[in-house]
């Protein structure tokens, strides 16, 4: 009788455990397994499981949260950028959450811009994003990226037009817009205007100017003008603020050589 009672208890325990497991949704079990793999650093395995969890999940909100997490793992941990783009596009096309769709579109643009360095495609994705962004700071950030992409795809004149419009209302990215403006002016050989823009940045925020290493950028403008003496003088004036001393020395040497080799140079050749 005791043996029968024990056997019955064991059997009932097994049935209860099996029932508990079978009542747990498959997507939940797969997701927990995915998190376990990710926590152990097995990102590729975890990524595959996250996608399975998303595909299995019936709850729409959870489904696209899983896709979002998978897209982040694909981009930042696995660095499978094409897969990250596909996962973000799954969100863009099918998620009922507008904010999630907007953020996914921004992620696609960022991947093309920052990871793949495909500025032409990044520009297309940013132009899709700009009209649907509602938050002012995010919109300003997107507009800045568009200006950068225009400059990087060889359209500095259009970049300047966009920057002029953006600066009328910009609040958080003013200095970054001005930096791209100076770069575009150099590309168009508007050297005096570029120098004036850099000076405006320096007067507005010397800390930003130093952090962005714009002292070197100014010396390049003088070099493009073939005013090598002015470039050397500028670097001598601000050399202490330039952290990369090896590059500073290389720039000095290059500028000195170009100055010496410049036609009609009156100094002593070495």
114-171 pLDDT, tens digit each: 999 999 999 999 999 999 999 999 999 999 999 999 999 999 999 999 999 999 999 9
- Residue 234's pLDDT is what? 96
Pair 105, 128: CB distance under 8 Å: yes
Q: What is the pTM of this model?
A: 0.86
- Residue 262's pLDDT is what? 80
Handedness of CA 110, 112, 117, 121 (dihedral sign): negative
- Residue 270's pLDDT is what? 42
- Residue 18's pLDDT is what? 38
- Residue 264's pLDDT is what? 62
- Residue 57's pLDDT is what? 95
- Residue 87's pLDDT is what? 98
CATH class of 25-114: mainly alpha
- Residue 213's pLDDT is what? 94
Low-confidence stretches of the chain (pLDDT < 70) are: 1-24, 264-270
């Amino acid at each position: 009788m005791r043996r029968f009672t024990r056997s019955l208890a064991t059997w009932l325990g097994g049935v209860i455990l099996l029932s508990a497991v079978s009542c747990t949704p498959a997507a939940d079990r797969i997701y927990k397994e995915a998190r376990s793999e990710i926590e152990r650093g097995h990102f590729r395995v975890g990524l595959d499981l996250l996608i399975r969890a998303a595909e299995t999940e019936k709850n729409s909100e959870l489904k696209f949260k899983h896709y979002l997490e998978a897209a982040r793992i694909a981009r930042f941990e696995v660095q499978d950028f094409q897969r990250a783009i596909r996962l973000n596009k799954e969100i863009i096309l099918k998620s009922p959450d507008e904010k999630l769709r907007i953020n996914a579109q921004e992620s696609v643009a960022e991947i093309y811009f920052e990871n793949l360095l495909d500025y032409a495609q990044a520009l297309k994705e940013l132009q899709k994003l700009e009209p649907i962004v509602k938050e002012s700071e995010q919109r300003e950030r997107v507009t800045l990226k568009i200006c950068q992409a225009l400059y990087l795809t060889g359209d500095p004149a259009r970049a300047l037009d966009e920057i002029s419009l953006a600066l009328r209302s910009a609040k958080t990215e003013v200095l970054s817009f001005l930096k791209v403006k100076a770069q575009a002016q150099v590309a168009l050989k508007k050297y005096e205007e570029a120098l004036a823009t850099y000076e405006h940045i320096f007067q507005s925020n010397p800390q930003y100017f130093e952090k962005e290493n714009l002292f070197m950028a100014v010396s390049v403008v003088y070099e493009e003008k073939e005013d090598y003496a002015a470039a050397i003088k500028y670097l001598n004036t601000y050399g202490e603020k330039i952290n990369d001393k090896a590059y500073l020395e290389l720039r000095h040497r290059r500028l000195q050589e170009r100055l010496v080799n410049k036609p009609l140079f009156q100094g002593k050749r070495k």
